[in-house]
Structure 1
Amino acid sequence: MKQYSQLFLVSLISGAMTLGAYKLLFDSNGYFSNNHNSITTTAADSYAKKVGLSGEVLDFTEAAEKTIHTVVHVKNVSYKTISNPMLEYFYGYKGGQPQEQIGTGSGVIISEDGYIVTNNHVIKDASEIEITLNNKKSYKAKLIGTDSKMDIALLKINADEKLPYTAFANSDSVKIGEWVLAVGNPYNLNSTVTAGIVSAKARNIGTSGIQSFIQTDAAVNPGNSGGALVNSRGDLIGINTMISSTTGSYVGYSFAVPSNIARKIIEDLMEYGNVQRGILGVQGGELNATASKELGISQTEGFYISNVTKNSGASKSGLQKGDIIIKLDNQNIATYADLSGYINTKRPNDKVEVTFIRDGKNKNVAVILSKNEFFSTEFKGIELENLNAADKKKFNINYGVKIKAINNENLIQYEEELKGNIILSIDNVKATDIETVSKLLNKKEENQSIRLEMINKNGELIRIII
């Protein structure tokens, strides 16, 4: 009986092993079954979703469809007089025939009533600006205002319908490696969409103005300027502005003005007629291994304060030389581009929470941003700034705006005579300061002539019409 029990137990175990082996190797999901590949594929799909490579993540069709209808073609028409030196020399002939010059770029509709943002260099010196929508309708555009320093311009068209528009996203929340689309009109090819990722944030490429670009590897070429950089949801995170190339065409790097900076400039132009720039009131530089070694400190990231402007918000809040700024509000500060990019989204009298290192300890202080005494505006290629105390004393005046620079090609020959002059009135309206002048010029059409009354550098009163 005992022998029979042992035989039964052995048979039972053998049967179980045989059944298990069959299920493992030959059943519908077994190793040798036709469905084995589906297991591998499912595992790959699971991994793909983790790393963001699935078809669902890479589907940009909705974002592209949403954006192409909000990106417009911008045509800049200007006129340049071409002189003939031979006629001038032999016959004393002056002047020449004005020749039409056309430039093109892109723009982004940001409101249903027709406000459009583009780059300043796209519409610079334009006599006429024409906007063509994605549905081929064309409109004449009015220039509302520009910020040449940040290369942003605001236009307005009066359409006969409510327009599709792109909503602003928070560019501070953009992450390196995030998928993005660049939409614009390269080489006059309307509604072109290219894809890439965010390669870097707060990129400083040595321009005299903005020093906090979003860098991407989405293909951008001439004509894309002023177009939209959007996230995978189709929300605006930047205005495509420039490429870095020795050939003039895309070679792997493109740069966009962050949407937070562009939005702040647009709001200023709408509300004030000029850009309101707040300043922290510190000078210095970003830290790295070399700079930290020279300064004798261990911290290798952050903004090192070498000087604090007297009577500025930073001075009043107690910031000192040697302090290292590592955070503004919730924004980490590792470079100068981080600091300038964040401050460029703020206005005078805004309060910023500054986190800094002093004597090896983290400290916090609230700083109220000061007003930049010399913020400027630009109209018809003439850059203007407020007077300083020395100007007022020199000319014995208490109002006016000073011509800071001449960027208009038609006026460049008179640059020496105009630069440094003090404008006292525009069309018989007193030019009290930049704010007053900006609001006045904002009401003028770009092709409308204006009369200026000014004092030249010799203190002589002159009048000109431009």
Structure 2
Amino acid sequence: MAAMVLLVQAVSAKAQPESFADLADKVSTSVVNITTSTVVAQGTGPGPMVPEGSPFEDFFREFQDRNRENGDRPRRSSALGSGFVISEDGYIVTNNHVIESADEIIIEFFEGAELEAKVIGTDPNTDIALLKVEADAPLDFVNFGDSDTARMGDWVMAMGNPLGQGFSVSAGIVSQRGRALSGAYDDYIQTDAAINRGNSGGPLFNMAGEVIGVNTAILSPNGGSIGIGFSMASNVVTKVVDQLKEFGETRRGWLGVRIQDVTEDVAEAIGLEEVAGALVTDVPDGPAKDAGMKSGDVIMSFDGQDVKDTRGLVRQVGNTSVGKAVRVVVFREGKTQTLKVTLGRREEAEGAVPAAMPGDKPDEKAPVEKEVLGMKLSPLTDELREQLDLDGKAEGLVVRDLGEMSEAYEKGLRAGDLITEAGQQKVKTAADLEARIADAKEAGRKSLLLLVRRAGDPRFVALSLE
């Protein structure tokens, strides 16, 4: 028994590093403190209120007069952050929010030297910025590691400038990987290594001294570390840094589709054996449309890699070079089909709004309501088009009413929604919808897939036929 206890203790001791001192010594000269300065216009603001006739009235009047004389004079606002050197010629990585809007960026090195930095490029989507300093001698630098090899429970060490205290080290473990906060390209490593304000932009090291993350955010009710910190994974950062270094901006691939996750009921409705892939809800003008992709396709594979869900596809596409021709495997009408798509550039496509294409208005007919699948539906008329702010080419069935206890309501349908497809075929009348229901039942389906549009935004909903 005593031997077993000693063995357990030996294994435990081996699992825990005796010290992080050697690692800190190895990388500390490559970690930097960042001080930014921004010119802020200073307004006079409201003056102090004193009673008329007060003995302090003359004093405060003189105080206000002095403020008015200097009121428009700008003042400087400072902020602190962290970063790390990635090349001997002076490239430095930090967070975009550390240097955003800064007029002056001062880099302080571990030995105390200071240099002014210029911004090479920024990426607000991943909160990464690339800076450059000009030094008289080659700088110590650190290398990026492969964040995909980091495992939950691995030891990590963070370095930075927490709360302006200067160079500091904290250690912990990888709490989890693949965390998303709010961005489309989020891939955060969660760690319990202490991260506070001022640590932003600093490196998260593995035990080999490689950077596997850029410390970016914390989850905290009080603004201080509670052991839930987030570092943008290095495999995301390296791609961004390479593009910023080459182009001064990001150049992400663009497929040109709107997508949603495949759920169990959607998979059953379209005959998909596995709940995976990205369901295409709309295909506006762009690369995917040019390649023949259609609404209702499920993207199963992109450029040789399986697509697990929409988030994974967005990252895969964004990490692919603009102009590259890729093979995209889609599931359509019970079988797979391969399309060849030449990717566009995401940054050029963002903000581009396609012009509405007005069409000839059909003859006005009184809407005839019919209840199907727990919804009161009617064909689209000119009056309904105007009420729902739809263009002349819009077609489908309008949801006029539905019960709050219905499955359709539970799955998010509301009065005013427009059903444009059922079973991946267009529907204009209740008879069309009933025919699609009959087809689905004949094929042994337990549910029917509807394409629903609200304020122009499409999404698929599967409703039970039982």
Q: Give the TM-score, by structure 2 length.
A: 0.63
Tell me, in whole angstroms, the C-alpha distance in 2 between the residues paired with 1:41 and 1:360. 61
Among 171, 188, 191, the alignment partner of 1:213 is 188
Q: 1:193 — aligned with what?
A: 169
* Gap change, CA 1:254 and 1:63, over 3 Å in 2: same
Tell me, in whole angstroms, the C-alpha distance in 1 between the residues paired with 2:220 and 2:259. 30
Among 226, 251, 255, the alignment partner of 2:226 is 251
Tell me, in whole angstroms, the C-alpha distance in 2 between the residues paired with 1:57 and 1:355. 47
Instruction: Trace 1:403-442 onto structure 2 (pairs within 5 A).
Output: none
Q: 2:367 — aligned with what?
A: none
Task: Give the superposition deviation at 1:294.
Answer: 8.2
Task: Give the superposition deviation at 1:257.
Answer: 2.0
Matched, 1:42 2:12: no
Deviations 1:264-322 (A, max 9, x none): 2222222222211211222212245576678886643443222234341x345554434
Among 130, 150, 173, the alignment partner of 1:174 is 150
Among 3, 10, 34, the alignment partner of 1:74 is 34
Instruction: Trace 1:57-206 onto structure 2 (pairs within 5 A).
Output: 60-85=20-45, 96-206=72-182
Amino acid at match of 1:179: W
Aligned-pair identity in percent equals 34
Amino acid at match of 1:167: N
Deviations 1:161-203 (A, max 9, x none): 2111111223344334433222211112333222233333332
* Gap change, CA 1:323 and 1:231, over 3 Å in 2: farther
Q: 1:303 — aligned with what?
A: 278
In structure 2, stretches of 5+ residues that fail to align are 48-63, 356-466
SS at match of 2:348: coil
Tell me, in whole angstroms, the C-alpha distance in 2 between the residues paired with 1:236 and 1:357. 39
Paired residues of 1:112 and 1:164 also in contact (CA < 8 A) = yes
Tell me, in whole angstroms, the C-alpha distance in 1 between the residues paired with 2:131 and 2:241. 10
Among 267, 280, 285, the alignment partner of 2:260 is 285
Amino acid at match of 2:6: T
Matched, 1:371 2:318: no
Tell me, in whole angstroms, the C-alpha distance in 2 between the residues paired with 1:322 and 1:65. 56
Instruction: Trace 1:329-368 onto structure 2 (pairs within 5 A).
Output: 333-352=307-326, 354=328, 357=331, 367-368=341-342
Matched, 1:264 2:239: yes
Tell me, in whole angstroms, the C-alpha distance in 2 between the residues paired with 1:375 and 1:339. 17
Paired residues of 1:243 and 1:255 also in contact (CA < 8 A) = yes
Amino acid at match of 1:82: Q
SS at match of 2:125: coil
SS at match of 1:267: helix
Paired residues of 1:287 and 1:299 also in contact (CA < 8 A) = no
Paired residues of 1:83 and 1:94 also in contact (CA < 8 A) = no
Instruction: Trace 1:8-23 onto structure 2 (pairs within 5 A).
Output: none
Amino acid at match of 2:310: Y
Task: Give the superposition deviation at 1:364.
Answer: 6.1
Aligned length: 338
Deviations 1:321-349 (A, max 9, x none): 34444554576543433233333333312
Deviations 1:386-415 (A, max 9, x none): x8897xxxxxxxxxxxxxxxxxxxxxxxxx
Among 202, 209, 217, the alignment partner of 1:234 is 209
Amino acid at match of 2:127: D
Deviations 1:122-149 (A, max 9, x none): 0111111100011111111111222223
Paired residues of 2:95 and 2:128 also in contact (CA < 8 A) = yes
SS at match of 1:66: helix
Paired residues of 2:307 and 2:313 also in contact (CA < 8 A) = yes
Task: Give the superposition deviation at 1:94.
Answer: 9.6
Amino acid at match of 1:369: L
Tell me, in whole angstroms, the C-alpha distance in 2 between the residues paired with 1:102 and 1:132. 14
Tell me, in whole angstroms, the C-alpha distance in 1 between the residues paired with 2:33 and 2:93. 12
* Gap change, CA 1:126 and 1:329, over 3 Å in 2: same
Structure ID, larger Rg: 1
Task: Give the superposition deviation at 1:218.
Answer: 2.3
Paired residues of 2:158 and 2:170 also in contact (CA < 8 A) = yes
Task: Give the superposition deviation at 1:116.
Answer: 0.5
Q: Give the TM-score, by structure 1 length.
A: 0.63
Paired residues of 1:203 and 1:337 also in contact (CA < 8 A) = no
* Gap change, CA 1:152 and 1:39, over 3 Å in 2: closer
